[in-house]
Structure 1
Amino acid sequence: MSEPLTADRIEELGARGLESPDPAALAAELVSAVDEGRVADPDDTGYALLVAADILKQAGDLADALALATRAIAEQPDENAYARAVRGGLLLRLDREDEGLAELTELRPLLETNPDATYLIDELSESGHAETALEWITGALDAIMERTRTQQHASEDAQDEAAAMIYGLAQQRHDLREEMGLPHDEYDTLADRLRAASSHALEALDDGPATLLFWPEAEFTALLTRWPALDDSYPKTWDEHRAQIERALTEASGLAGADLGVVAGTVEGLAAFAGDDPIDEETLDGYADSLDEVGLTSWPPGRNDACWCGSGAKYKKCCLPRSRG
């Protein structure tokens, strides 16, 4: 019997789909695992189908990609917003404009309440509907700004979430308007000011480095094999490790990312740095400092750029969603 399909394998296939000479075979591997009940975590069933759909979409097979996105919705009906957005974007690409816009319009209110819902803007702008994307993101910003003005006694958590959403939406709107060649307006000025303020705040941080130590997948496995005592210092899996790094960077920057980055550690490098000293938290911090500016990967990458973790997938489809995990 074939091996179970893990989340790491799903991501690996998705990353390979960007350059594979036979994307249909990669998609077929994902779909067959679903059909045969071999998805290691049943909660990843819809994810596997959506990755297969994305592989086929990139290969130009939009009709089959649409069928898989539709199936993903049926497989996991309680968590189907992203799958529906993907389906809506595919309908737009297939010139089924009324259906596509209807699908996405039903999800539009999420832009005002769900920080992850900016995938709606991606689907619109990438399918040739940048003007609609700009209208929606502006409307969401208007609504959240008005809500913050009228709900002055909201909880601290609610205020923090609203501030984070304003930051994220303003930056994405700013980027979209630049791509459209539009001049600066008041929200663009706000985006610039928020980015600058975040940068100044990071410079003032005195309780933690702006650069985090990250272990690539092979090095992470080798690290915990060589020094089992570090088990308590790290998550159990590499997937959890990179998710932890993404969340830490997001929290440090308030969704900004200015002047933040990761440095990749190696077991060989750590051993050389530590010598005969014990490998503990203090040693790890010192090793991270020794790597600062050497092989630094700035964070965050662009939404459509390769993810910082080295998976090969686009940031927006890899580690970016982990910030809310």
Structure 2
Amino acid sequence: MSELLTADRIDELGALGAKSPDPAALVAELVGAVDEGRVADPDDTGYALLVAADILVQAGDLADALALTTRAIAEQPEDDPYARSKRGGLLLRLGREDEGLAELTVLRPLLETDPDATYLIDDLADAGRTDTALEWLTAALDAILERTRTQQHESEDAQDEAAAMIYGLAQRRHDLREDLGLPHDDYDNLADRLRAASDHALDALEDGPATLLFWPRAEFEALLARWPALADDFPATWDEHRAQIEGALANAASLGGADLGVVAGTVAGLAAFAGDDPIDEETLDEYADSLDEAGVAAWPPGRNDACWCGSGAKYKKCCLPRSRS
């Protein structure tokens, strides 16, 4: 029997898609594994088909991409709004306006409840429906702002999520209008104020600076092996470490933080920086401040971009879900 298709291999093929000289071979590997029942985790079957569809989109084959996306939706163990949005966008791009808009309209309420649902806006914009995207963004902002005015006793988590959504929707709307050369309106002014304020928002956070020090897996293990006393300052496992970083960044973003990022540390670099000084939390902070800004990875990456933690997986399948844990 041929080799099983793992999640890591799916991600690897997806990353190759844009630059591969033979995208058809990548699609054949993904679809072949699905057809032959060789997906290591059956729950990844739909994901493999979506990756294949994305490769076809990049190659300009929208019709076959639509067929695979439709199949992916059927293969998913649970309803996947992201996949349905991709299908709606492809229908629009193929001229099937009524079907595509109907598919996306069903998902439209997510813009008021799910901070990640701006993929709907991306799919509308990619299909040339920027006017509809702006209409939906404006309506979502209206609804969320009205909700924050009328529901004064929401939990702090709900208030933080609403603030993050207002920020994200306002910025996305502002960027679209700016691309179209439209004059500023009240929401554009709000976006400008929020963006300006976000540069200073992290000063009030207790979680630390806008750029957080992160230890890749091998460095994390070497760090605790060389300085065991640091175990009190770090989670027990690397998975917990990257989840902690993702959670801190998500919290900072929800409070208006901008220009967020991570910078990777190395044991050799820390040892050279500290010299004979003891390695403690203060030294770690000073070491982080000393690292070259050129090494900072901006956070968050795009949903389909490589995750900031260095796992090789796409962000949406790796650390993005950790911010919700």
What band does the TM-score fall into relative to the shorter chain? 0.7 to 0.9
Q: TM-score with structure 2 length normalisation?
A: 0.83
Aligned to 2:218: 221
After superposition, give the CA deviation of every residue in 1:255-285 in whole Å (9 maximum; x if it has no partner).
6442432212234324434568887766644
Tell me if the contact between 1:305 and 1:314 (Cα under 8 Å) persists in the aligned partners: yes
Q: Tell me, in whole angstroms, the C-alpha distance in 1 between the residues paired with 2:231 and 2:207.
A: 24
Tell me if the contact between 1:202 and 1:259 (Cα under 8 Å) persists in the aligned partners: no
Query: SS at the partner of 1:79?
Result: coil
Tell me if the contact between 1:89 and 1:123 (Cα under 8 Å) persists in the aligned partners: yes
Aligned to 2:115: 115
Q: Are residues 1:80 and 2:77 paired?
A: no
Aligned-pair CA distance for 1:86:
0.6
Q: Tell me, in whole angstroms, the C-alpha distance in 1 between the residues paired with 2:318 and 2:148.
A: 31
Tell me if the contact between 2:213 and 2:288 (Cα under 8 Å) persists in the aligned partners: yes
After superposition, give the CA deviation of every residue in 1:76-103 in whole Å (9 maximum; x if it has no partner).
2523211110111111111111111111
Gaps of 5+ in 2: none
Aligned to 2:191: 191
Aligned to 2:49: 49
Q: TM-score with structure 1 length normalisation?
A: 0.83
Aligned to 1:90: 90
Which stretch of structure 1 is more off in the superposition, 136-145 or 276-285? 276-285
Tell me if the contact between 2:214 and 2:265 (Cα under 8 Å) persists in the aligned partners: yes
Q: Tell me, in whole angstroms, the C-alpha distance in 1 between the residues paired with 2:189 and 2:310.
A: 33
Q: Tell me, in whole angstroms, the C-alpha distance in 1 between the residues paired with 2:241 and 2:52.
A: 25
Aligned-pair CA distance for 1:132:
0.6
Query: SS at the partner of 1:39?
Result: coil
Gaps of 5+ in 1: none
Aligned to 2:260: 260
After superposition, give the CA deviation of every residue in 1:114-145 in whole Å (9 maximum; x if it has no partner).
12111110100011111011111111111111
After superposition, give the CA deviation of every residue in 1:31-66 in whole Å (9 maximum; x if it has no partner).
233334343433332222211111111111112211
C-alpha RMSD of the superposition: 3.4
Identity %: 79
- Relative distance call for 1:2 and 1:304 in structure 2 (3 A) is closer
Q: Tell me, in whole angstroms, the C-alpha distance in 2 between the residues paired with 1:17 and 1:255.
A: 36
Aligned to 2:100: 100
Q: Are residues 1:69 and 2:66 paired?
A: no
Aligned to 2:147: 147
The letter for the 2-side match of 1:37 is G
Q: Tell me, in whole angstroms, the C-alpha distance in 2 between the residues paired with 1:312 and 1:125.
A: 28
1:139-178 correspondence to structure 2 within 5 Å:
139-178=139-178
- Relative distance call for 1:262 and 1:207 in structure 2 (3 A) is closer
